Amino acid sequence: MTDQPDSAADFQMAFEDSCDRVPVLLIHGFPLSNMLWDPQIADLSDVARLIAPDLRGHGMTDATEPPYTMKLFTEDCATLLDQLGMTWPIVVAGLSMGGYIALDFCRRYPERVGGLILAATRAGADSDEAKKSRDQAAGVAIAEGTDPIAEGMLPKLLAKENYEAQPELVEFVHDMMLETSPDGVVGALAAMRDRPDSTGDLPGLEVPTLILHGADDQLIPVTEAEAMAAAMPRAKLVIVPDAGHLPNLEQPDFFNDAVRDFLEIFYEE
Ligand code: MLT
């Protein structure tokens, strides 16, 4: 009979656990889901522990009655991190509405943020005109559901060339949008309409920050990303060529390389 060790102290077990990678919270945009991050989850898991929730009312996550707020989305994310036992600082990454939530998260939980990735987003609040458009869109979603919202947004989400040349990508994004419940659409529209202006917070955000923006974004102009980068003490701006509002889907290799380079800081001694 072979001698067996009588306690765990007698031997050492080697193991792999991707939890030892820097944790990155990936927050999707409107009206999308965590499928937005498929190319990042497929490629970056060796350098990051990627946590990609579906926001309330989006994807597979339950909807509750609207309206929602940025605070509610932030608290949902913080609760998820708590439930995962995530007590140390993480990198918070958000695309578009996800960026609005990332900035809200920084305001409420600065001690939990070790780095930021802001993609296709802006720091400012809605103009009066934009607020009116949110209310009109909410009226449409209440009366007719998610479909017309998805139809209206789809051509604006991708760069024109990608919209014409990549029908599979268009269909992927369209299907993702249709998973958003009408309550989710209405709730998120209210949250975006009422979000505060985060511009004044930018100079105080001293964590390493990567700002990524599609050169051909039709929804948020590149100048917004440039202004954020100029206002933040440790921000690096990367413009993604041949990409619109979803640069991580339109140019996944370029986007992932930039994220991979950025995350290196977190492994330096
Ligand atoms: C998004 O992509 O999340 C939204 O279009 C952002 C917005 O409408 O402000």
- Nearest ligand 1 atom, CA 98: 3
Identify whether the C-beta of residue 194 lies closer than 8 Å to the C-beta of residue 69. Answer: yes
Which residue's CA is the nearest one to ligand 1's atom 9?
97
**What average pLDDT is seen over the chain?**
95
> Which pLDDT score, from 0 to 100, does residue 254 have?
98
> Which pLDDT score, from 0 to 100, does residue 16 have?
60
> Which of helix, strand or coil describes residue 118?
strand
- Alpha-carbon gap, residue 154 to 146, rounded angstroms: 12
Identify whether the C-beta of residue 115 lies closer than 8 Å to the C-beta of residue 105. Answer: no
Residue type, 43: D
Q: Write out the two tokens for 262.
A: 């950025």
pLDDT in tens, 165-203: 999 999 999 999 999 999 999 999 999 999 999 999 999
The model's confidence at residue 61, banded by pLDDT at 50, 70 and 90, is: very high
- Alpha-carbon gap, residue 193 to 89, rounded angstroms: 29
- Nearest ligand 1 atom, CA 30: 3
> Which pLDDT score, from 0 to 100, does residue 8 have?
58
- Alpha-carbon gap, residue 9 to 13, rounded angstroms: 10
**Mutation test residue for ligand 1: of 101, 220, 248, 250, the one with most atoms within 8 Å of CB:** 220
Strands, sheet with 113-119, edge to edge from the N-terminal-most edge strand: 48-51, 22-27, 90-95, 113-119, 209-214, 235-240
pTM (two decimals): 0.94
239 CB near ligand 1 (under 6 Å): no
pLDDT in tens, 13-47: 776 656 789 999 999 999 999 999 999 999 999 99
Which residue's CA is the nearest one to ligand 1's atom 4?
30
- The Å distance, Cα 193 to ligand 1 centre, comes to 10
- Alpha-carbon gap, residue 240 to 107, rounded angstroms: 27
Measuring CA to CA, which residue among 117, 140, 123 is closest to residue 189? Answer: 140
- Nearest ligand 1 atom, CA 96: 3
- Alpha-carbon gap, residue 3 to 7, rounded angstroms: 12
- Alpha-carbon gap, residue 142 to 14, rounded angstroms: 55
The model's confidence at residue 4, banded by pLDDT at 50, 70 and 90, is: low
Residue type, 122: R
Using the structure block, give the residue that is written with the tokens 């369209």: 174
- The Å distance, Cα 46 to ligand 1 centre, comes to 29
Q: Which residue has the higher pLDDT, 70 or 88?
A: 70
The model's confidence at residue 12, banded by pLDDT at 50, 70 and 90, is: confident
* Alpha helix positions (H), the chain: 38-44, 70-83, 97-108, 128-144, 147-157, 160-165, 167-178, 182-193, 222-231, 247-250, 252-263
Q: Tell me the mean pLDDT in the region 129-158.
A: 98
Which residue's CA is the nearest one to ligand 1's atom 7?
97
- Integer Rg of the chain from CA: 20
97 CB near ligand 1 (under 6 Å): yes
Q: Is the pLDDT of residue 6 over 90?
A: no
- The Å distance, Cα 63 to ligand 1 centre, comes to 19
The model's confidence at residue 87, banded by pLDDT at 50, 70 and 90, is: confident
CA 62 vs. chain centroid, Å, equals: 18
pLDDT in tens, 92-128: 999 999 999 999 999 999 999 999 999 999 999 999 9
Q: Is the pLDDT of residue 79 over 70?
A: yes
Q: Is the pLDDT of residue 238 over 50?
A: yes
Measuring CA to CA, which residue among 189, 245, 178 is closest to residue 216? Answer: 245
> Which pLDDT score, from 0 to 100, does residue 1 have?
47
> Which pLDDT score, from 0 to 100, does residue 15 have?
64
User: ∠ CA 45-46-52 to the nearest 5 degrees?
Assistant: 15
pLDDT in tens, 252-261: 999 999 999 9
- Nearest ligand 1 atom, CA 121: 6
Using the structure block, give the residue that is written with the tokens 């944790």: 23
**Mutation test residue for ligand 1: of 122, 219, 245, the one with most atoms within 8 Å of CB:** 219
pLDDT in tens, 207-220: 999 999 999 999 99
* DSSP conformation class of 81: H
Distances (CA, A) of 15 to 7, 18, 20: 18, 10, 11
- The Å distance, Cα 142 to ligand 1 centre, comes to 18
- The Å distance, Cα 30 to ligand 1 centre, comes to 5
